[in-house]
A and B are shown apart, each in its own frame.
Chain A
Amino acid sequence: MTGGMPRRTLLGSTAAAGLAAALAGCSSDSGGGEGSAGSRRKGEKITLTFWTWVPGIDACVALWNKQNPDVQVKVEKVSPTNGAQYAKMHAALKAKNAPDLAQIEYQMVPSFLLDQGLVDLSKYGAGEHKDKFVGWQWQQSVFGDGVFAIPQDSGPMGMFYRSDLFDKWGIEPPATWAEYERAATKVRAKGAWIATFPPMAGGWFTGLAWQAGAHWFDTKGDTWIVDMTGQETRRVCDFWEGLVRGKLVKTEPDRQNAWYSDLQSGRIVTWVGAQWGNALLSGNAPGTAGKWRVAPMPQWDKGGKASANWGGSTTALMSGTKYPKDALAFAVWLNSAPESVALLPKAGVGWPAARAGSANPALDRPDDFFGGQKYNSVFAGTEQGVNTSWRWGPMMDATFQHLGDELTAAINGKGSFADALARVQRRTVDDLKAKGLKVETRT
């Protein structure tokens, strides 16, 4: 009686799903194949596709399209949740239908190099634009003699805090991590939490280790050096493990609804975040307008000025683009032309990578959300404190996954945070070896 029916239904639905996927694959209309000359014929009209998730980037692109009728840029938005945009880009590269241009965060550039996914811009004269950008940000995408992306913005880290509540409770905003821990106890006594420790926020935790002076990745000749268990990292691990085990911080994910709800209601009163976080706060906790201030990151050494970078991205050219010269011209214009850089902060990007951009009047304005504080001047200061010798590893998306998994396991009782980092290092080394890379750990 069951006969063929279950099988037919099963196959039918599978075939339909496969067909849908195939159709979705076809709908992407970006150019594939290598361009021979690297530029278009004179007078030829072309359209470049650009994958990005920056909400307001369309304003810049519209301006470019008006100025360059022959080289139109078409923005296609991709989701930045949980690295979905990179999964899509890697898949598109594998399927050879990648866009011409893509927004890629600094830490992801090496993983695309492993996929042969980016165009070496030095072949098309990128070197002459080097001086338009902040030195260390430019260097983040330089490997050997190649230049693989044009920097757009960075995310110097600082501390957002609820100055009204700190005043009301008579607590000094912490300037060192030791003071931060004491403040956490006092805040907890008032029924609130000083912060959350979001185990899945790999970029955030990396920023904390970066500030403490760790260097997780380095290169020596042909070999990658991994060091996630050094004393600087251990210090960060032990500190946050103390806060978590002492129930002085929450462990909910950041930048999610529950966290926004806690910010809005004053249950969480600080966020050690990045410059671009201002928009997240004002957009998701509008009821707290005027009550936030910005201070530098708490320091390990009293009077120190160490900071770190969280996030920040580049505009890169994906291999397969037929018009690298035109695409490069757009990437450079987008991130350095004064008329574009003036629009970027409103578009939702972070601290501009263009040298001219730091003097942007839009960044030097008192902000009502921060009670009239010129909060960007704080980030201008912390940007100077970023340790610019930091290097990213070749598979940071996988490393961030391991970091989230292992820190969660540690919170749930599987060993210490430092043990978790040792496991992350071991799995990262395995990943790199599986990719056929030479890798060593620093002992």
Chain B
Amino acid sequence: MSRARPARSAAVFLLPFCVLFTACFIAPIGYALYQSLLKSQRSGPLGFGREREVFAGLGNYTHALQDGRFLQGFGRVLLFGAVQVPVMIVGATVLALLLESASARWVPFFRTAYFLPYGVPGVVASILWGFLYVPGISPVVDTLHRVGWDVDFLSNGTVLWSIANIATWEFTGYNMLVLIAQLTSVPGELYEAAVIDGASAWQVAWRIKLPLIRPALVLTTVFSIIGTLQLFSEPLVLRSLTSNIDAAYTPNLLAYNEAFAANNYHLAAAMAVLLAVVACVLSFGFLRLVGRTGKGDER
């Protein structure tokens, strides 16, 4: 009897989460899975007659996997991630260590300044950077042109890295903040002990701080991998500024275009499911990888 009451109050507290989680997470995924197994069939003159949805089995999945553009999009975001994620995480770590070092000045100001880009919505950030990339508008391109260096940030070869630059600008500060939060939770005695033992600032950073913020590093890396695979708003916005971003530039963009330009919701659903599967495999794969090598540190 005394056990029943906590159970009931726990249920009351859990209910709002469960309802929202089911309505906004489980249900849409279930619906997408269901849609991905259907296809449209049309009849009547020129197909303008009746439309019926029929079971298609895994037809949409094989179609998606045979679409070279879909696979190329994956290749592109993987290349993007392989370069951009390490650069950003290293950058965030360096900034966090600098701001948490003993000699740092103006810490609140710089912390806010670095974090600020994260407060700018991705679409707005892309528009802002777009203006800095477009020749004839951009002061950067103009200035470089004047000193004799012609750069095209939107060419076939460079546009991916221009997008990487936007993503790095947006998220480095956010990741830095996560790392700082973990750094501040490290007990000060550890540093004192290290200094007494004669450790240099370098050694403190390398042998104490970095190992202790490992969980935060893993967390930010996993988030970044997921974010990379979901790359969408930056290419969507820059697409109107350059013809070198096609409708299938990233898997997410292709799924969007299949759904809303080609009106093939079923194929788009299949692509979205495949994208989610790849994101899961990569995220859990990374966790497995660091979990295995990191066993020693976490006793």
A interface, CB within 8 angstroms of B? 1-2, 5-6, 10-11, 14-15, 18-19, 22, 81-83, 86-87, 90-91, 94, 111, 113-116, 143-144, 198-200, 219, 221-224, 251-253, 256-258, 261-262, 265, 267, 394-395, 397-398, 401-402, 404-405, 407-409, 411-412, 431, 434-438
Contacts and interface: CB of A to CB of B under 8 A. Distances in A.
Query: Interface SS of chain A: helix, strand, loop or mixed?
Result: helix
A1 B46 contact: no
Nearest to A19: B24
B264 A408 contact: no
Contacts of B107: none
Count class of interface residues, chain B: 35 or more
Contacts of A409: 246
A262 B136 contact: yes
A1 B298 contact: yes
Contacts of A224: 46-47
A94 B265 contact: yes
Contacts of B219: 2, 5-6
A114 B137 contact: no
A411 B47 contact: no
Interface of B: 20-21, 23-25, 28, 39-43, 45-48, 51, 63, 131, 134-137, 156, 215, 218-219, 222-223, 226, 239-244, 246-248, 257, 259-265, 267, 298
Contact of A258 (B48, B241, B246): B241
Contacts of A15: 20-21, 24-25
Contacts of B20: 15, 19
Contacts of B215: 1-2
B298 A437 contact: no
Contact of A18 (B24, B156, B223): B24
A10 B225 CA distance: 13
A434 B267 contact: yes
B48 A438 contact: no
A267 B240 CA distance: 21
Contact of B243 (A199, A265, A434): A199
B141 to A, nearest CB: 10
- The 6 A-B pairs at the shortest CB distance, nearest first, are namely A18-B24, A87-B260, A261-B136, A405-B246, A437-B47, A398-B262
B51 A397 contact: no
A223 B47 CA distance: 9
Contacts of B156: 412
Given A395-B262, A436-B42, A258 B134 contact: yes
Contacts, number: 140
Given A90-B263, A258-B137, A258-B241, A435 B42 contact: yes
> B-side binding surface: helix, strand, loop or mixed?
mixed
A241 to B, nearest CB: 15
Contacts of B136: 257-258, 261-262, 265, 267
Contacts of B260: 83, 86-87, 90-91
B235 to A, nearest CB: 12
Contacts of A81: 240
26 contacts: A1-B215, A2-B215, A10-B223, A11-B25, A15-B24, A18-B25, A19-B20, A22-B24, A83-B261, A86-B261, A87-B261, A90-B260, A116-B51, A143-B46, A144-B45, A200-B243, A253-B242, A253-B243, A258-B134, A395-B262, A412-B156, A435-B42, A435-B263, A436-B41, A436-B43, A437-B47
Contact of B137 (A222, A257, A395): A257
Contact of A114 (B39, B45, B263, B267): B263
B146 to A, nearest CB: 16
A257 B131 contact: yes
Contacts of A19: 20, 24
Given A10-B223, A253-B243, A437 B46 contact: yes
Contacts of B267: 434
Contacts of A405: 246-248
Greatest chain B CB density within 10 A among A15, A221, A262, A438 is at: A15
A402 B48 CA distance: 23
Given A261-B136, A437-B47, A401 B261 contact: yes
Contacts of A200: 243
A14 B25 contact: yes
Nearest to A2: B215
Given A22-B24, A404-B246, A436 B135 contact: no
B48 A114 contact: yes
A256 B244 contact: no
A404 B261 contact: no
A116 B52 CA distance: 11
A11 B261 contact: no
B218 A11 contact: no
A253 B47 contact: no
A435 B24 contact: no
A408 B135 CA distance: 18
Most B CB atoms within 10 A — which of A91, A198, A431, A435?
Answer: A435
Given A15-B21, A143-B46, A394-B46, 18 more contacts: A2-B215, A11-B21, A14-B25, A87-B259, A144-B46, A222-B46, A224-B47, A252-B135, A253-B242, A257-B131, A257-B241, A261-B137, A398-B261, A405-B247, A405-B248, A408-B244, A435-B47, A437-B42
